[in-house]
Structure 1
Amino acid sequence: MVLAIVIGTMGGAVASALGVPLPWMLGPFLACAASSITGLRLTGLPKGREIGQVVVGLAIGMRMTTAALATTLTLLPAMFAGTLFVVVMTMLAALLLMPLARVDARTAFFATAAAGMADMATVAQQRGGDPDVVSLMHAIRVASVVAVVPVMVIAFGEPGVLVESASQASHSLAALGLALGLALATALLIRPLPFPNPWLVGPIFLGAAMSGSGLLTVAIPELLIILAQWLIGISLGCRFKRTLMFRLPRVVLAALIVSAYMIGASAVAAWIMAALSGLPYVTSFLALAPAAVTEMVITAKVMNLDAEVVAAFHVMRIAVIASTILLTFSLFERIERRLRSALC
């Protein structure tokens, strides 16, 4: 754990000095991932990623004024359409992964489903798939999105014009401590419930309720956001294990190809959604990016974009996919069998 902290901090400092986008997330992530792959045994801080998500969720929730909530509700049709796109895109990704990685349909489907890595690995094992392949594919997909999409967006995208309403927000440390405590309590409270990503979603709901009602609006210090990114980056980097990467080299290569396809397909679909919904292209791209909801929300916040809209799209996608995954799997199996029969 101490080694992970040292390497993550050095990675963040180097990335910051080099001007890398989101240096305190990408720097620790890339440094810890590279170190893990070389064979170092790294462990992230206990609940580090979850604590980082609580901070980010509260910061986004505090931006959700009544007007922002009303705007988000008008985008419900676009959210459903975006979720349908992700489902179709991941099904095609599964069909692509099967020959590339030489895995069965069950493993390929759960390895590419845009849902939680741990959940998909467990369901895949229950259905006769390979949980190691599923875990590795999800780790590489998330890593690819985190490493590529923020860089693309910040390097080539147009920053938004949204600014924090700092003048109306409290800068009291006591108010900040109270808000963070309530956010953590909310996450713990809804954790047993079937909510997608409770560590992020719970604080978003709490922050929106407090800010939208005028009860309490707290300014989240930039240093705290950087600390959250640092925790998340280290946690993501420590997921990579040398033994698994070298045991399944064909899966690693296939996962990189499939991840590139997902990112490219999302980039193209974002143009269509931006034209139909009126959303900025960059916001649409972050909203459709396959996975990494917390990291996409952080990117949107850094770019002064509609981070709450990006969060809403991802929450909708996670909720729908998680609740219908077995039905979608049955549909995929029928499609795959028909395609196999047609080719034979």
Structure 2
Amino acid sequence: MAQGGDGLIVNADSDSDDGTGQAFLATPTRTPKRLLAIDGTPGKGRNLLAAWRLCLDEGVDAVVMLDGDMRTVQPWWIPAFLRPIAARGVDFVSPLYRRSPYRGVSARSVSRAFHYAWFGVDVQHPLSGNAAIALPLLRRLAARDWTAAELGYGAETAIVATILGESRPWAKAQLDICADAERFGYRQRIAHDVLTATVQVARRTPPRLGPAGPVETAPMTFVGPTAPETAWLEARIADACDKSAACRQDYARWAGARFAEIEAAIEARRLDASAWFHLFSHALLEARERDPGRPATEYATALAPLFSLRVLTIWQECEGRSAEAIDAAAAAEVGVMRAALAAAAA
């Protein structure tokens, strides 16, 4: 929303071939709109940064971001996102809504657990792509330096880590259903960017150990279609099956006395939350304290097979379970990584 109550609709597009830009221009609207064609390497963060800078030039007070793949956006979402900014002066508004248990794989297995472990604050949907940003945070994000991963699909990790790391005020907006286009071809890139950006945050910001805030228990799952194809997960898991693979040396170092458990999990194609978060915590602390010169992308590449195995395990566990049971399991594991991080730090 621009100053004076006027609105502006912005679509930032990295020369995609799905017709989004053309459909955007062809759709009649009462509000002025702008299509930004972004040059260079395609990336979600790159698109957001261009849109934010345009909005700052236009004198906005707040921005509502809506993912271009969304199929269930409702008009009332806009005021729901903006209300906490106008009424309470928060910098950021994150959604609460229900999603398919087969979506948000990087959020449950990496980002939500990491932010709670590192900052002691639970953001239920940290990678949603749907959120609102007020002017002070907008200026901060537009001015900061962005890594290649953050200019890609690590954008939301950078946003949420900035909010929590700087203790900025934020709020939640209760929405309803979040459903989007079911395209899995780029999921490995999303996971790699999120893992890379997470390592970068861990290096920049010390963990806040000690008492943590409550875990969010708002309903977050709807039971819909069956599990999608898993070939993209199986292909990455296969990278860790060879005992001579370079990542196995990393796993032995990070897992320590639990390495046999990791080996058994790879063999059985089933990795529980405790083992995954134990290894993930040790990897992050190593990247921060003992090997700060190793590229974050290398950590992401090494972690990716076990991340994929954890996602596959979650999908298997979701089959035949109610939405309430899936939500309870997801909430229960939020604190597991924080406990693992505290143990690793000790």
Instruction: Give the TM-score of the pair, scaled to structure 2.
Output: 0.27
Specify which structure has the higher proportion of strand: 2
Specify which structure has the higher proportion of helix: 1
